[in-house]
Amino acid sequence: MYPRYSDHNVKEALSDTPVVFIMGPRQAGKTTLVKTLITETGADNWTFITLDDQAQFEIARADPVGFIRNLPPTRIALDEVQRLPELFVSIKQAVDELRTPGRFLLTGSANALLLPRLSDSLAGRMESIRLMTLSECEIQGRQAGFLTKLLDQNVPTTQDIRVREHLLHRLVTGCFPEPLQRTSERRCQAWYQQYLSTLIQRDIRDLTHIDHPDLMAKLLKLTAFYAGKLVNLTELGSKLGLDRLTIKKYMALLEQLFLVEQLPAWHSNEYKRLVKTPKLHSVDTGMMCAVRGLNRERLLKHPGDFGLVLESFVYNELRKQAVWIEEPLNFYHYRDKDKVEVDVIIENAMGDCFAIEVKAAATLSAKDFTGLKRFQSVAGERCKIGALLYDGDHTTAFGDNLYAVPLGALWS
C-alpha cells in the first residue's frame, strides 16, 4: 500500500472541524485512506457506511433526515456521499445540534461543493481536502521537496538524471493505484477503458440529467486530444454537434468528476497583451493515453504528443504537492499575443510568482528560455524564480534567477 501524504491534512481537520470531506476521482484511494485512518484511531469509535451499497443507498434516499438521525453515536464515515446530495442538509442539522470535531468524515468522487444548494449548506462546518491520484513521491516512498524548495527560492537538484525511460512508463501507466499493479501497457489501458465506461454510465447520471449521455464519452476523448492546449468550447462543440452552452455544461460535469481541469491564464493589469483563455489538462496521463491509444512506442515516434502529455504530468505533480504545502497557492499558465508562453505559473498569497517550463529533450539552448524571460520581464519583481525542467544531467543557471533543472527533481 502506498503512503498518502494527505493523511496529515485529514487528521488535522478531524481534530477541530465537525465535517471533513475528502474528494477526488473514483479509485484514487479515498476509501483506503479512510479505512486506514479508522484503524489507526480505533475502529470501535467509527461506523463506516458506503452509499455504493445499494441497500444503504435506498434506505438513505427514502428518508435522509431519519437516516442521519438514526446513525449510531459514533464518528461516522460516509463513502461516496455525492450519490445522495440530500444528505448534506441532514448532516448540517445534526452538526448544529451537536458540534463535535471529526463527527463526520465524508468521501466523494464528485465535487459536491459545486452541486446546487450545497455550496452554503455546510459553510463554516466542513473542510474539504482534495485527494488526487498518487504522486511520484508517494509511488517511490520519497518526501516531496521540489515545490517547497522552489517557494523558498532555492534551486531544486536531484541525483535522478536522464529519466526518459521511467517517464515513458509513468505517462502510460498513470498514477491510479490499480494500474500500477498491472504488468503490461495493454492491461493498464484495459483498466482505464473500463473505468471510464463505468464512470460515465453511472456517476454522471447520479449527478444530473443530460440529454446526450453517449456524447460524454466522445467529449472525454476529445479533451484528451486538447490536453495541454487552449480551451476552445466553440470548436469542441462543433465537433460533437452541440451548442456552446451545452458543451460548457458537459465540460463542467467532467471537471466536477475530477477527469479534466481548466488551468486559468495568468493576468496583469499593467500588461494588456495577455491571452486570457484557460488551458486544458487531463488529471491523469494514464487515462489520457488510454483514451488516445498512446503507448510508449507512439510517444517516442511523436515528440509533440510526448511533450503535451509530459506537460500534463508535471502540472499534476505540482498540484499534488501543493496540497501538502501550508500556504495557499494558485496555478496559471502564461501566454501573450505573440504566442510566447510558460507552461505553469504558481502564485502565492503575497503575489509572488514561480514559473515552470517543461521540455522533454535532454539538450537546451538559450531559445528555450524565451517564455521564462518574457514572463520575468512582464511580472518584474513578482517573478522570484524560473525553472525549465528537462531530461538532462545538471542544474544550471541560465540568467538571473533562471535555471535548467532535471525532471527527476520533481520527486527528489
Domains along the sequence of the chain with CATH: 7-130 (3.40.50.300), 136-411 (no CATH)
Splitting the chain (412 residues) into consecutive groups of 10 residues, what average pLDDT does each group show? 93 96 94 96 95 94 94 95 88 93 93 62 87 96 92 90 92 96 93 88 69 80 91 92 89 90 91 91 95 93 93 97 92 96 97 96 92 96 96 90 95 88
User: Which residue, among 281, 247, 243, has the nearest Cα to 262 in the 3D structure?
Assistant: 281
User: Which residue, among 92, 62, 109, 88, has the nearest Cα to 206 in the 3D structure?
Assistant: 109
β-bridge mates for residue 348, sequence order = 329
SS3 label, residue 402? strand
Q: Give the pLDDT of residue 336.
A: 95
For residue 161, give the C-alpha cell: 538524471
Sequence-separated (6 or more) residues with CB below 8 Å from residue 2: 29, 134, 138, 139, 141, 177
Alpha helices in 208-323 (DSSP H): 213-226, 233-240, 244-256, 285-292, 296-301, 303-323
Q: Give the pLDDT of residue 208.
A: 66
Give the C-alpha separation, 406 to 139, whole Å. 19
Secondary structure element (H or E) that encloses residue 108, with its range: strand 104-108
Q: Give the pLDDT of residue 316.
A: 97
Q: Give the pLDDT of residue 377.
A: 94
Give the C-alpha separation, 103 to 93, whole Å. 13
Q: Give the pLDDT of residue 387.
A: 97
pTM over cut 0.75: yes
Q: Give the pLDDT of residue 112.
A: 67
Q: Give the pLDDT of residue 271.
A: 81
